[in-house]
Structure formats: C-alpha cells, structure tokens
C-alpha cells in the first residue's frame, strides 16, 4: 500500500508538485479517533471537491489537550493508517499544535473543508485561505454519529 502518511517537508514537496501540475488541493483536519459514517460521508464529499485530498491529523498530545486525557482511544499512527486506507485520501500529515493554522498556511490549499458541525466563521485558516483566493466549505453533518457517542455507547452497554 502506498505510504500516504507524510512528514511536513515531504508533504510540502508533494504539494508543490501537485500545484505545478494544476491539481486542485482540498484540505481538511481533525482527530478521527473512531472512524464512523459521518467521517466517511464528509471525507468522500470533500474529495469530490478537488483533485487531491490532504488530511491534517491531530497528534495524540494535541488530542489530549483538546478532548481530555482519556482521548484519543486510537493512537496517532493507527488513526493515520486507517485514513490512508481510503482511496479518496491522498496524503495525511500529523500536526502537534492546538490548531492547524500553521499547517494550513504552509500548504495553502485551494479548498478548506470541515463538517457541518462548524460554521465558516469558526474554521481555523478560513480567513487566510479566502484571502489567498481559495474557498472554505462545510459539508452536511450526518446526525447521530460522533466518536464520543460511540465511546459512550460502548461504556453504557458494557457497564
Ligand atoms: N457526523 C458527522 N458528519 C459529518 N462530518 C463529521 C461528523 N462528525 C465529525 N465530522 C467531521 O469530521 C472531522 C473530524 O471530527 P472529529 O474527529 O472531532 O469527529 P467527532 O466524531 O466529532 O469526534 P469527537 O466525538 O471525539 O469530537 C471534522 O471536520 C468534523 O467536522
Ligand atoms: O476533529 P475536530 O475536533 O473537528 O478537529 C479539530 O478541528 C479544529 C478546527 O479546525 C477548528 O476550526 C482544530 O483547531 C483542532 O486542532 C482539531 O483538528
């Protein structure tokens, strides 16, 4: 299987080549702890918006700061491997900050995407991408699906 999980320098080399080839780059980011229907539905739609789909994946340390010490359930390498198995994802890069602001500025995608649980106003990097002539989109939220709800359902059913 092609190794889609890149260091930032390696990803930026791919990005430069893709841009030189006129490819439309779509970027999204997240924790993707327990992959579910909502993730796949939105990621597949995000991929349709351009030629290459790049995922910024929160490191384990970043997730712990964002979602608490008990998270993530799946460590970063496992989360990255699962995402790389989807044909419509072209590259994954792990970032350790609280937000992907620096990553987005380095990649500067044509399209920045998040799920419908976000509004354009609260998407990190939206202003910068739009100032660069890019687009920012949200994709319909699939109700009833979240990693947290899966964890809670397991806890309830096994307690
Ligand atoms: N049900 C859903 N439908 C569409 N997009 C979703 C859904 N759940 C999450 N997303 C999107 O997936 C990306 C990753 O989100 P995240 O990993 O936080 O998912 P989550 O299920 O909400 O996790 P958690 O419950 O741990 O917060 C984000 O861009 C988010 O907008
Ligand atoms: O999986 P999540 O919680 O949707 O991902 C977070 O998204 C934040 C978002 O980009 C804010 O607009 C980001 O700041 C955070 O680091 C997580 O990736």
- Tallying the residues shown for the chain, one arrives at 159
- Predicted TM-score of the model (pTM): 0.97
- Residue 35 sits in a domain of what CATH number? 3.40.50.620
User: For the chain, what is the domain count?
Assistant: 1
Structure confidence at residue 1 (pLDDT): 59
Structure confidence at residue 159 (pLDDT): 85
How is residue 137 written in tokens?
């989109």
Instruction: Tell whether ligand 1 has an atom less than 6 A from the beta carbon of residue 145.
Output: yes
The yes/no answer to whether this complex scores an ipTM above 0.95 is: yes
Structure confidence at residue 17 (pLDDT): 98
Backbone angles phi, psi at 34, to 5 degrees: -110, 105
Containing structural domain, residue 6: 2-158
Distance CA(140)–CA(6), nearest Å, equals 28
Rg (CA), the chain: 15
Q: Using DSSP, state whether 3 is helix, strand or coil.
A: coil
31 CA to centre of ligand 1 in angstroms: 8
Q: Which residues of 87-108 are buried (b: 16+ CB within 10 A; e: fewer)?
A: eebbbbbbbeeeebeebbeebb
146 CA to centre of ligand 1 in angstroms: 6
Instruction: Tell whether ligand 1 has an atom less than 6 A from the beta carbon of residue 48.
Output: no
Instruction: Tell whether ligand 1 has an atom less than 6 A from the beta carbon of residue 73.
Output: no
Distance CA(49)–CA(137), nearest Å, equals 10
Going residue by residue through the chain, which has 159 residues, state the pLDDT in tens, using 9 for 90 and above. 578 999 999 999 999 999 999 999 999 999 999 999 999 999 999 999 999 999 999 999 999 999 999 999 999 999 999 999 999 999 999 999 999 999 999 999 999 999 999 999 999 999 999 999 999 999 999 999 999 999 999 999 988
Distance CA(56)–CA(157), nearest Å, equals 32
Q: What are the angstrom distances between the C-alpha of 91 and each of 11, 45, 60, 159?
A: 7, 16, 18, 39
Structure confidence at residue 138 (pLDDT): 98
């Amino acid at each position: 299987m092609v190794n889609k999980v890149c260091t930032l320098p390696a990803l930026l080399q791919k990005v430069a080549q893709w841009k030189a080839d006129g490819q439309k780059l779509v970027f999204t980011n997240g924790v993707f702890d327990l992959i579910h229907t909502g993730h796949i539905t939105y990621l597949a739609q995000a991929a349709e918006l351009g030629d290459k789909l790049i995922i910024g994946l929160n490191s384990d340390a970043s997730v712990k700061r964002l979602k608490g010490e008990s998270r993530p359930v799946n460590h970063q390498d496992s989360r990255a491997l699962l995402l790389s198995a989807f044909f419509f994802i072209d590259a994954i890069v792990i970032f350790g900050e609280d937000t992907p602001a620096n990553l987005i500025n380095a990649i500067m995608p044509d399209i920045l995407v998040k799920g419908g649980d976000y509004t354009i106003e609260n998407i990190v990097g939206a202003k910068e991408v739009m100032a660069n002539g890019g687009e920012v989109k949200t994709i319909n939220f699939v109700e009833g699906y979240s990693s947290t709800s899966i964890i809670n359902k397991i806890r309830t059913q096994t307690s």
